[in-house]
Amino acid sequence: MSPTVLRVRAYQFYFFSREEMRPHVHVQHATGEAKIWLDPRVELAQNCGLTAIRAAVRLAQEHEDEIRAAAPIRDRCKGPLAARRLDHREPTIP
C-alpha cells in the first residue's frame, strides 16, 4: 500500500503512484476499501466491501483540500481551479 495521506477515525486515505490519470484517492477501513474520484467532483468510483461508503465519501468531501494537496504532482492541477492555476503563459506578441 502507498503512504497514508489522511487518517480520520478508522478511515485511511492513500494514493497509488501508477494508476489511471483521472484524479482519485483510495480509502481503506476494517470493513473493506473503495476508490473515490476527485474530479469533476468527489464521488464513489468503486466499492470493494466498504459498508460505510457514505461516511467515507463525506470524509473525502470534508477533507478534499488536504487530499488534493497531498496528491501526486500530475493530479494537482486538476479540478475547478485548474484553468486559473495553469493560466500563467506569456502573452503573445502580435
User: What are 39-49's pLDDT values in tens digits?
Assistant: 999 999 999 99
Q: Assess if residue 94 is contained within a domain.
A: no
Tell me how many domains the chain contains: 1
Which residue in the block uniquely carries the three cell numbers 489522511? Answer: 6
pTM above 0.95, yes or no: no
Q: Assess if residue 21 is contained within a domain.
A: yes
Backbone angles phi, psi at 54, to 5 degrees: -60, -40
Q: Assess if residue 54 is contained within a domain.
A: yes
Q: Assess if residue 8 is contained within a domain.
A: yes
Contact indicator for 39, 79 with CB cutoff of 8 Å: yes
Q: Assess if residue 92 is contained within a domain.
A: no
User: What are 3-32's pLDDT values in tens digits?
Assistant: 889 999 999 999 986 777 888 999 999 999
Distances (CA, A) of 38 to 27, 31, 62, 89: 12, 22, 12, 26
Burial readout 62-80 (b: 16 or more C-beta within 10 A, e: otherwise): ebbeebbebbeeebeebbe
Q: Assess if residue 43 is contained within a domain.
A: yes
Range of the domain at 65: 4-86
List the alpha helices (DSSP H) in the chain. 53-62, 64-70, 82-86
